[in-house]
Amino acid sequence: MANKIILTASGGGHTGYAVALAQYLHDKCDLTFIIPKGDEWSKAKVEKYGKVIEITKGRGPKDPAYKFFPRFTYAFFESLSKIGKYEVIVSSGSNHSIPPSIICKLKGAKLINIESPVRFVSPSKTAKLLDKIADMTVIHWEQQKKLFRNGVVVGPIVEKPLYEAHDGGYILVTGGTYGHKYLFDEIIKIPIDNIVLQTGRISPEEYKKARPNWKIFQFDPDFQKWIAGASLVISHFGRTAVDAAISYRKPVVIVPNPEWRRTAGMKDAEQLAIILNAVLVKEVKASKILEAIDEAKHRKPPQYPNGAERLAEIILQEL
């Protein structure tokens, strides 16, 4: 049995995977989490399950390239000085996971490498790199087997539902941690009053002025309550789309963010939409989103077992 486990919770969906695992592990072993320095949202999500260490993140999806190398180098020194010995390290993805994963591996830990659930055409750079030294690379879907020949399919890694799913009469729109300005600028044109909008790191002020009758906020650590009560969820393709469909059985509209050029692409989004029985919007326009809403209302998400439970069993029993 693994007594000391450290997990990277690298922000956004990556933190979600760490939390999902922690829900099955926290009462069975000693957990520590590595979060990006200054990421208060991730800290609020994970601190109830274990200790927290902050390590510099090399680069976010919108950060310029010149910031990456000095930050990334510094993250190695931080990892070396702040992280002790653990039996297992779980990488949730993102370049933020690379320095601590390598340092922990050098110190004798077994490395569990988690690929993103939205990768189908090509692997993420982090998962591909860490696969070379990992004891196990974990994937969510059978369709991802072509990315990692020896990848272990556990199912979609999602958090346990904290609330009973119900229809609260509103549409939830979210762009994730970094926001989705293209989506937000179009969604405010739609003649629908019952919308809850989470803007992430994008200021909500202009949207509050445009639609004062909507519920609009940047972050909520208890975000699951909004998913649980939504009639339908509109999101960039990522963890929220998967959580909404799998954990809460909500119809989903996926609107890829054209700003995220370094992440998964449209063909990946197409594959995820098929798996989740979601409606994909390829052109970010109010008219297209409105059509997608009407279509999604008639779709029912598929059922999958929670991969977090399966992965927790593997960590505790086999490693």
Over residues 231-262, the pLDDT tens digits come to: 999 999 888 999 999 999 999 999 999 886 65
Q: How confident is the model at residue 57 (pLDDT cuts 50, 70, 90)?
A: very high
| Residue 146 resides in a domain | yes
| Residue 301 resides in a domain | no
The overall average pLDDT reported for the chain is 93
> What's 117's domain CATH number?
3.40.50.2000
Task: Determine the pLDDT at residue 67.
Answer: 83
| Residue 148 resides in a domain | yes
Whether residues 238 and 313 share a domain: the answer is: no
Whether residues 267 and 191 share a domain: the answer is: yes
Whether residues 256 and 149 share a domain: the answer is: no
| Residue 232 resides in a domain | yes
CA distance 16 to 194: 27
Whether residues 65 and 92 share a domain: the answer is: yes
Handedness of CA 27, 95, 279, 289 (dihedral sign): positive
Whether residues 31 and 108 share a domain: the answer is: yes
From residue 84, how far is each of 78, 100, 101, 268 by CA, in Å?
Answer: 11, 10, 12, 37
Task: Determine the pLDDT at residue 221.
Answer: 81
Tell me: pLDDT of 309 over 50: yes
Q: At what angle do helices 12-25 and 307-318 cross, to 10 degrees?
A: 60
pTM for the model: 0.89
Tell me: pLDDT of 2 over 70: no
Whether residues 77 and 221 share a domain: the answer is: no
CA distance 306 to 319: 20
Whether residues 76 and 14 share a domain: the answer is: yes
| Residue 164 resides in a domain | no
| Residue 163 resides in a domain | no
Contact assessment for residue 197 and residue 216, using Cβ atoms and an 8 Å cutoff: yes
Tell me: pLDDT of 215 over 80: yes
Q: How confident is the model at residue 1 (pLDDT cuts 50, 70, 90)?
A: very low
Whether residues 152 and 177 share a domain: the answer is: no
How many domains are contained in the chain? 2
Domain extent for 36: 4-156+306-318
- Percent of the chain scoring above 90 in pLDDT: 85
Task: Determine the pLDDT at residue 62.
Answer: 66
| Residue 229 resides in a domain | yes
Three-class SS string for the chain?
CCCEEEEECCCHHHHHHHHHHHHHHCCCCEEEEEEECCCHHHHHHHCCCCEEEEECCCCCCCCCHHHHHHHHHHHHHHHHHHCCCCCEEEECCCHHHHHHHHHHHHCCCEEEEECCCCCCCCCCHHHHHHHCCCCEEEECCHHHCCCCCCCEECCCCCCCCCCCCCCCCEEEEECCCCCCHHHHHHHCCCCCCCEEEECCCCCCHHHHHHCCCCEEECCCCCCHHHHHHEEEEEECCCHHHHHHHHCCCCCEEECCCCCCCCCCCHHHHHHHHHHHCCEECCCCCHHHHHHHHHHHCCCCCCCCCCHHHHHHHHHHHHC
| Residue 314 resides in a domain | yes
Task: Determine the pLDDT at residue 225.
Answer: 97
Whether residues 290 and 312 share a domain: the answer is: no
Whether residues 193 and 145 share a domain: the answer is: no
Task: Determine the pLDDT at residue 317.
Answer: 85
Whether residues 109 and 207 share a domain: the answer is: no
Whether residues 78 and 128 share a domain: the answer is: yes
Q: Can you say whether residue 93 is alpha, beta or left, with left for phi > 0 and alpha for psi between -120 and 50 degrees?
A: left
Tell me: pLDDT of 183 over 90: yes
Neighbours of 315 (CB within 10 A): 24
